[in-house]
Amino acid sequence: MEYISGEILTENGFKKGYIGLDKGKIIEFGREKPKEKPIANGFIIPTLINSHTHIGDYFIKELNIKLPNNIEKLVAPPKGIKHKLLKETSEKEIINGMKESINIMSKSGISKFYDFRENGISGIQQLKEAIYDHEDISSLILSRPNHLRYHKEEIKTLLENSQGIGLSSITDWDYSEILKIAKYTKIKNKIFAIHASERIRENIDLILDLKPDFLIHMNYATESDLIRVKENNISIAICPRSNKFFKLKTNFTNMEKLDINLMLGTDNAMLNSPNIFTELAYFKKISKTHSIEKLLNMITYNPRKALNLDYNILDLKLPKEFIVLDNKTLKIIYAPIHS
Ligand SMILES: [Zn+2]
């Protein structure tokens, strides 16, 4: 048996100890020193989750064009530059870009990413093709219809082929259409997520009536909006580097005060690398007071909690994909499923 010692990140914080491995799988825990000299020492943590991506636009990064830092001009459907480029670009090019971002994520310890998938059913198929060869990383696909309208047949097909729906924002839509989509998604027991209050404050009652499983951004939500979010036990994914690009504030102080389940995402791959450690390093810089435990929770336990995924590093009955980080540099020093 091989041993790794250090601090194990559990749901209740770091615990000192060691793990014993057989073929890269955890089969033993201990609180004392391991019986043999460990092969590594560091933070033993669950594999990472990137809670918000749009990897379909990675190809735009390679085009080397100057992108405006105005959200509406760049990403709002249907006229934003991104959507124009997505229509003009070949499937092959889009899929190659997706493959590139999946490689970046897989190499940086990410085992799952929650992707907002544009372009209807073909967007879903493109991602499935891009990820086909990967056993070490999976996607949670939150799809969206091709037009800003509810067509039952289209939504039915999307839900049969993805884990749920991920929409732009209530401001971009006729609300009655979005409400029909959200209701149908819940009838089918699938996930519904939406960008909210990203550049302006949006009506929290309308947002909550959609019964979202989680929200993205909430930059301009007030404290009272966030209290409602907390009361409804809804998680929020924040994307600090994306906010920086668009010159928006990252609204984490109240979220933390209210103890909202916070997650980190990298947002548009054309703007920022989907490496969640880079996002974490930036957030660490702007949030200053955060403990390393709290930061790591945002990319390990919190995203799993948000979707009720069963995971406990100390429960030997559950799957335990894990990585080991150097406790100073936070670089990966051991990653069994990525080797
Ligand atoms: Zn987004």
Distance 1 CA to ligand 1 centre (A): 44
Q: Under 8 Å CB-to-CB from 216, ≥6 apart: which residues?
A: 52, 116, 193, 194, 195, 196, 198, 236, 237, 238, 239, 265
Residue 277 Cα to ligand 1 midpoint, Å, equals: 18
How many Å lie between the centroid of ligand 1 and the Cα of residue 41? Answer: 36
Q: How far is the CA of 4 from the centre of ligand 1 (A)?
A: 37
* Count of C-beta atoms within a 10 Å radius of residue 72: 12
Measured CA to CA, the distance from residue 28 to residue 26 in angstroms comes to: 6
> From ligand 1's centre to the CA of 290, what distance in Å?
24
Distance from residue 82's CA to the centre of ligand 1 (Å): 12
Helix-helix angle 152-161:175-187, to 10 degrees: 50
| Range 122-129 contact pairs with CB under 8 angstroms and sequence separation of 24 or more | 122/91, 123/56, 124/158, 124/161, 124/162, 125/161, 126/56, 126/91, 126/94, 126/95, 126/98, 127/55, 127/56, 127/98, 129/95
- DSSP per-residue string spanning 59-92: HHHHTT-PPPS-HHHHTSTTTSHHHHHHHHS-HH
Report yes or no: 321 and 26 within 8 Å, Cβ to Cβ.
no
Tell me if residue 95 falls in helix, strand or coil.
helix
> Ligand 1 centroid to 116 CA: how many Å?
7
CATH of domain 48-288: 3.20.20.140
Q: If you measure from the C-alpha of residue 318 to the centroid of ligand 1, how many angstroms do you get, rounded to a whole number? A: 31
Kindly give the distance from the C-alpha atom of residue 140 to the centroid of ligand 1, in angstroms, as a whole number: 14
Dist. CA 324 → ligand 1 center (Å): 29
Question: Looking at the chain, how many residues does it have?
Answer: 339
* pLDDT at site 318: 57
Ligand 1 midpoint to CA 297 (Å): 21
Tens digits of residue pLDDT in 103-140: 999 999 999 999 999 999 999 999 999 999 998 899 99
Give pLDDT, residue 34: 92
Which residue's entry shows tokens 């703007």? 271
Residue 58 CA, ligand 1 centroid: distance in Å:
13
Ligand 1 centroid–CA 273 distance in Å is 14
Q: Name the pairing type of β-strands 164-167 and 2-10.
A: unpaired
Measure the CA–CA gap between 161 and 142, rounded to whole angstroms.
10
What is the chain's pLDDT, residue by residue, as a tens digit (339 residues)?
Answer: 899 999 999 988 999 999 998 887 888 889 988 999 999 999 999 999 999 999 999 999 988 889 999 988 999 888 899 989 998 999 999 999 999 999 999 999 999 999 999 999 999 999 999 999 998 899 999 999 999 999 999 999 999 999 999 999 999 999 999 999 999 999 999 999 999 999 999 999 999 999 999 999 999 999 999 999 999 999 999 999 999 999 999 999 999 999 999 999 999 999 999 999 999 999 999 997 678 999 999 999 999 999 998 777 776 655 568 899 999 999 999 988 644
Separation of 36 CA from ligand 1 center, angstroms? Answer: 47
Distance 39 CA to ligand 1 centre (A): 40
pTM of the shown model:
0.95
Tell how far the Cα of 295 is from the centroid of ligand 1, in angstroms.
21
CA of 42 to the centre of ligand 1 (A): 33
The three-class DSSP label of residue 331 is: coil
For ligand 1, the distance from its centroid to the CA atom of residue 64, given in whole angstroms, is 21
- For residue 308, with 0-12 CB atoms within 10 Å meaning exposed, 13-18 middle and 19 or more buried, which class applies? exposed
Q: Where are the domains of the chain?
A: 2-46+313-338, 48-288
Per CATH, is 2-46+313-338 categorized as 3.40.190.10?
no
User: 35 CA distance to ligand 1 centroid (A)?
Assistant: 47
* Residue 210 near residue 216, CB atoms below 8 Å: no
Whole-angstrom distance, CA of residue 337 vs CA of residue 284: 27
Structure tokens at 3: 């041993």
Q: 3-state DSSP: the chain helix, strand, coil percent, rounded to 5?
A: 35, 25, 40
What separation in Å is there between the alpha carbon of 25 and the centre of ligand 1?
35
Helices (H), the chain: 58-62, 71-74, 81-88, 91-107, 120-131, 152-161, 175-187, 204-208, 223-231, 240-245, 253-257, 276-287, 292-297, 301-306
pLDDT in tens, 278-291: 999 999 999 976 78
